[in-house]
Amino acid sequence: MMREKIPTDYEKIFHPQKVAIVGVSTEGQAVFNFGSSILKAIKAMGFAGQILPVNPKGGVFAGLHVYKSVEDIPDGLDFAVIAVASRFVPEVLEACRKKGAAAAEIVSSGFSEIGTKEGADLEQQIKEIAAKGIRVIGPNCFGVYCPKSGLTFAPGPDLSRESGSVAFLSQSGGMSVDFAHVGKWMGIRFSKIVSFGNGVDLRETELLHYLACDPETKVIVMYVEGIGDGEDFFRAIKSAARQKPVVVFKGGLSSAGQRAVASHTASMGGNRVIWQSVLRQVNAVAVQDMEEMAQVSLALALLPAKTYKAISVIGGGGALGVNACDTAESFGIEIPLFPAALQEQIGSFLPKPGSSTTNPVDVGNPFVPPRALKEVLSLAAKDSRVDLQIIISLLHHYKVNAGVLGKTVQEVAPYEELAQVLREVKQATGKPIIVVLPNLKRGIDDLDVAEMLSLARKEFVEHGLPVYDEFHHAIRAIGHVNKYYEVKGAKNE
Amino acid sequence: MMREKIPTDYEKIFHPQKVAIVGVSTEGQAVFNFGSSILKAIKAMGFAGQILPVNPKGGVFAGLHVYKSVEDIPDGLDFAVIAVASRFVPEVLEACRKKGAAAAEIVSSGFSEIGTKEGADLEQQIKEIAAKGIRVIGPNCFGVYCPKSGLTFAPGPDLSRESGSVAFLSQSGGMSVDFAHVGKWMGIRFSKIVSFGNGVDLRETELLHYLACDPETKVIVMYVEGIGDGEDFFRAIKSAARQKPVVVFKGGLSSAGQRAVASHTASMGGNRVIWQSVLRQVNAVAVQDMEEMAQVSLALALLPAKTYKAISVIGGGGALGVNACDTAESFGIEIPLFPAALQEQIGSFLPKPGSSTTNPVDVGNPFVPPRALKEVLSLAAKDSRVDLQIIISLLHHYKVNAGVLGKTVQEVAPYEELAQVLREVKQATGKPIIVVLPNLKRGIDDLDVAEMLSLARKEFVEHGLPVYDEFHHAIRAIGHVNKYYEVKGAKNE
């Protein structure tokens, strides 16, 4: 299904100047409506181009003139968002094509995924119109999110306006919105996300080709339920993964999952063993759930492109150190024993008894001040074997101090100073630092801790430090990074 | 090291009437002090027995007369908390023994774990005193937490006063406090937790024997770094696991982990393969990290003791359903396709298009009201193959509605009604219900969502419903439950 005749104008898809939104409410209608909601969201994102709302009743919506039809729009169109009932979609799409739109996203559902002949027929009509010269994203999707231009998903979730280096392709609209939400607080910033739902036209294979060459995209992430053409896809992902990491979350590997896929995006799932083997062959990063997908995306986006074979672990609590070693070993990552002289130097900054300097470094208690941690991390980086440092910061324990001092946990937890110090050490040593920031106090009595940790995470993220809830999440992510760059390095040799 | 002469008086350890706390501050001392802090914590827990503080300076502390020495305490003693510098510990312990204390917990550190001859000598002295007739918990530990009597850990974390059915044994003090904190908001309630640190006397094997017969303990959980006597331990865990589930988190399975264990609790770790094989042989539930330990403990505590081979999944979002199937299959749990007639009935309560009734049931959008979900769950339970139901509740999406309606997310998210409805369905059908409650909005702009979800979780927990952040956490926990009861059933046949 690769179209050779008219080259796809991706610039008009991701950075359109003139966007029609077909299916907005007319002023005064209180009912929730996808089209209106998207329009408001795109405006709120600060989209700089022209927004052209369409509704047969005309009028004014959100301060904009509403055209009674696509035909009524003067001049041309770059892109269209179609949010009308499924039976009206073909005629609207055809009108957009005639108006010169390079592409349209169809957020409406009610096509092949509902399993009726009517739905399948409507989908067939869309395919035929697309073949005449308009690229279609969808139907049954949430469309395009491009923070740089200001395009955003249906129905208009509150997403980040910051642009970044991670691209995401997803058959699932829910997964697109979820990942965008999670990325927002985890510090994953997106170049673009495309939710393509039933994927009748523009879908994973072509988008992979595009993203492999997109200079704004450093990491490609995909949620796949089924694929259009297996061989084309194989070539595309193989070629993309040679250039940059491609993370794949494959849904529908079980028999029940395949059944669920059929009623979700009307795709064929595919066998678990075949998928695993294909993903391994092409050196894709295979993940099992959205948490893992987000965690590895963060590491691939923020860590320099290399392997991290040995690490230092600086943290509070003996058991945390013990478990850190076990987890690291099971991912083939070493936590080398520090030389005696280095241990002695590190020990001079830590309380005794209760601390341990072997690596992992047990700092003895959660209240060791950032300036001492700075010395410890600077010293640990001197071990030439250490490629990366992980600090386990138990800031939630400051709640006890806050109580004793009659202050708030936000006032006493030194996360600002810690973030500053960690950035300084990272810059001075050239070795990345990951922060593990668990929250064991998530009850209703500890909302102040949740708030402080949200602020702390934001601070760390703004200082360019990846943050994970748990040590084993960080290690698994580094394990993926290592595997990808190891194989890539071997192939390029 | 099993002591046969004097039977251990566990009643005096967990429910003492007279407790000495040796090493409190004297009034006016502002310095943080373990003894004082424990004393305040035990008082705050509502401990009903007598608290007898000891400090050589005497005086009054927290309204209590401070004895100048253990010898000065009139009458006898049941239990002692020792929080003095390590070099003073032997004489204090000996005094407690002479006073008739059944046991003492030594929270002080500075013994074999610091790797000096002095530390090892002090530890040896403790062992010798213990052998004369006082049981010792510790040293280098956080002691005993028993919500029913009001004993709590050093240095006095804010833990639940509700008693429950989960017991926890841990060499790590940090892990004990962490698990108790996590249990608080997850809804895991404890019968007792013993943090025994270096474990010079009373430790895992004897405590396992005791807990296996303790009528208040339904589930035994252990964090183990090293063990005292391998054969004794093997017999104890085998016997305990025949009676009730024993969850084991083994730390120090890697070579670096064993090194960390040595400086943490001065234990010998043991080989990964041997441990895995032993735990499998005795039908212990082996977990890899604290998250998994807490998740499986919750399931074992709250679900009736049986296997759950087939489940229904009711939730919002097609991809969630697809991934649910994949995850369930990888743990051998079936999500059976509902019969057509049942699907039709279920479908009559759900919005169209967008919903799917096959199982997983995709409810179409996150705003389907609890009364409709009640009908769906009641119908799904009619499929006789279904042993348990999981509802994936995307309450965080109500933030959008709140914005539209000019209300708070707490006002619009119907978690109280949902908890009520789920309890009703559970009671009417006799099939357990698990709630999956993800929070994808954890940024600083969404603290209202975090608060609402904390309240929602509390509500579900109070209605006896286990709650998990992610579907795969719930499934993994059920997988452990199934494996345990399958093997137990087969052994009992």
Alpha-carbon distances of A125 from A89, A102, A216, rounded to whole Å: 9, 18, 34
Contact, B242 vs B488, CB < 8 A?
Answer: yes
Contact, A382 vs A371, CB < 8 A?
Answer: no
Report the residue from A170, A171, A254 with minimal CB separation from B325: A254
Instruction: Name the token pair of A55.
Output: 């509704």
Q: What is the mean pLDDT of residues A114-133?
A: 95
Tell me the average pLDDT of chain A.
Answer: 93
Q: 3-class DSSP state for residue A65?
A: strand
CA distance A231 to chain B (A): 24
Amino acid at B253: L
CA distance A493 to chain B (A): 32
Amino acid at B303: L
Supply the pLDDT for residue B1.
46
Is the preceding peptide bond at A139 cis, omega within 30 degrees of 0? yes
Tens digit of each residue's pLDDT (9 = 90 or more) over A301-310: 999 999 999 9
Report the residue from A328, A442, A455 with minimal CB separation from B454: A442
CA angle, residues A127, A132, A135, in degrees to nearest 5? 65
- B10-300 and B304-491 in the same fold: yes
CA distance B469 to A128: 44
Domain coordinates of chain B in residue numbers?
A: 10-300, 304-491
Residue with tokens 């929270």: B107
ipTM of the complex: 0.91
Chain B residue whose CA is closest to A335? B256
Positive or negative, the CA dihedral A453, A458, A461, A463 is negative
Supply the pLDDT for residue A106.
98
Cβ of B442 within 8 Å of Cβ of A454? The answer is yes
- Which residues in chain A have Cβ-Cβ distances shorter than 8 Å to B354? 109
Report the residue from A263, A445, A451 with minimal CB separation from B447: A451
Q: Using N-to-C axis directions, what is the helix angle for B340-347 and B370-380, rounded to 10°?
A: 170
CATH architecture of B10-300: 3-Layer(aba) Sandwich (3.40)
Q: Does domain B304-491 have CATH number 2.60.40.1220?
A: no
Cβ of B353 within 8 Å of Cβ of A110? The answer is yes
Domain at A305-491: CATH code: 3.40.50.261
Q: What is the mean pLDDT of residues A41-65?
A: 94
Cβ of B337 within 8 Å of Cβ of A259? The answer is yes
Written in H, E and C, the secondary structure of chain B is CCCCCCCCCHHHHHCCCEEEEECCCCCCCCCCCHHHHHHHHHHHCCCCCEEEEECCCCCEECCEECECCHHHCCCCCCEEEECCCHHHHHHHHHHHHHCCCCEEEECCCCCHHHCCHHHHHHHHHHHHHHHCCCEEECCCCCEEEECCCCECCCCCCCCCCCEEEEEEEECCHHHHHHHHHHHHHHCCCEEEEEECCCCCCCCHHHHHHHHHHCCCCCEEEEEECCCCCHHHHHHHHHHHHHHCCEEEEECCCCHHHHHHHHHHHCCCCCCHHHHHHHHHHCCCEEECCHHHHHHHHHHHHHCCCCCCCEEEEEECCHHHHHHHHHHHHHCCCECCCCCHHHHHHHHCCCCCCCCECCCCEECCCCCCCHHHHHHHHHHHCCCCCCCEEEEECCHHHHHHHHHHHCCCHHHHCCHHHHHHHHHHHHHHHCCCEEEECCCCCCCHHHHHHHHHHHHHHHHHHHCCCCEECCHHHHHHHHHHHHHHHHHHHHHHC
**Confidence class of residue A1 from pLDDT cuts 50, 70 and 90?**
very low
Question: Count of CB contacts below 8 A, A vs B?
Answer: 225
CA distance B196 to A384: 37
Cβ of A259 within 8 Å of Cβ of B472? The answer is no
CA distance B367 to chain A (A): 13
Cβ of B441 within 8 Å of Cβ of A185? The answer is yes
* Percent share of chain A, pLDDT over 70: 96
Q: Which pLDDT tens digits describe chain B residue by residue (493 residues)?
A: 444 556 899 999 999 999 999 999 876 555 568 899 999 999 999 999 999 999 999 999 999 999 999 999 999 999 999 999 999 999 999 999 999 999 999 999 899 988 899 999 999 999 999 999 999 999 999 999 999 999 999 888 889 999 999 999 999 998 999 999 999 999 999 999 999 999 999 999 999 999 999 999 999 999 998 887 888 999 999 999 999 999 999 998 887 888 777 766 665 556 788 888 999 999 999 999 999 999 999 999 999 999 999 999 999 777 888 899 999 999 999 999 999 999 999 999 999 877 889 999 999 888 999 999 999 999 999 999 999 999 999 999 899 888 878 999 999 999 999 999 999 999 999 999 999 999 989 999 999 999 999 999 999 999 999 999 999 999 999 999 999 999 999 876 5
Cβ of A257 within 8 Å of Cβ of B445? The answer is no
- Which residues in chain A have Cβ-Cβ distances shorter than 8 Å to B86? 353
Query: Which of A323, A331, A415 to probe by mutation at the B interface, max B CB count within 10 Å?
Result: A323
CA angle, residues B411, A291, A362, in degrees to nearest 5? 105
Residue A57, C-beta contacts closer than 8 angstroms, at least 6 positions apart:
A26, A66, A68
Torsions phi, psi for A248 (to 5 deg): -125, 125
CA distance B152 to A365: 19
CA distance A491 to chain B (A): 31
CA distance B207 to B190: 15
CA distance A107 to chain B (A): 12
Which of B459, B360, B379 shows the shortest CA–CA distance to B419?
A: B459
Cβ of B252 within 8 Å of Cβ of A158? The answer is no
- Which residues in chain B have Cβ-Cβ distances shorter than 8 Å to A455? 444
CATH architecture of A10-299: 3-Layer(aba) Sandwich (3.40)
Report the residue from A254, A321, A329 with minimal CB separation from B326: A254
- Structure pTM? 0.93
CA distance B172 to chain A (A): 6
Residue A238, C-beta contacts closer than 8 angstroms, at least 6 positions apart:
A281, A282
Q: For chain B, give the longest Cα–Cα distance.
A: 80
CA distance A6 to A130: 11
Tens digit of each residue's pLDDT (9 = 90 or more) over A324-381: 999 999 999 999 999 999 999 999 999 987 788 999 999 988 899 999 999 999 999 9
**Confidence class of residue A31 from pLDDT cuts 50, 70 and 90?**
low
Report the residue from A114, A261, A362 with minimal CB separation from B322: A261
Contact, B224 vs B249, CB < 8 A?
Answer: yes
Cβ of B320 within 8 Å of Cβ of A174? The answer is yes
Report the residue from B114, B260, B358 with minimal CB separation from A325: B260
CA distance A136 to chain B (A): 20
The 8 Å CB, 24+ separation contacts for B30-34 are B32/A404, B32/B155, B33/B83, B34/B83, B34/B107, B34/B108, B34/B154, B34/B155
CA distance B254 to chain A (A): 5
Report the residue from B185, B353, B443 with minimal CB separation from A442: B185
Query: Which of A196, A322, A390, A399 to probe by mutation at the B interface, max B CB count within 10 Å?
Result: A322
Q: Using N-to-C axis directions, what is the helix angle for B447-462 and A447-462, rounded to 10°?
A: 140
Report the residue from A264, A321, A328 with minimal CB separation from B318: A264
Other Cβ atoms closer than 10 A to A238: 16
Cβ of B264 within 8 Å of Cβ of A362? The answer is yes
Report the residue from A170, A290, A318 with minimal CB separation from B265: A318
Chain B residue whose CA is closest to A333? B256
A446 secondary structure, DSSP code: G
CA distance B72 to chain A (A): 30
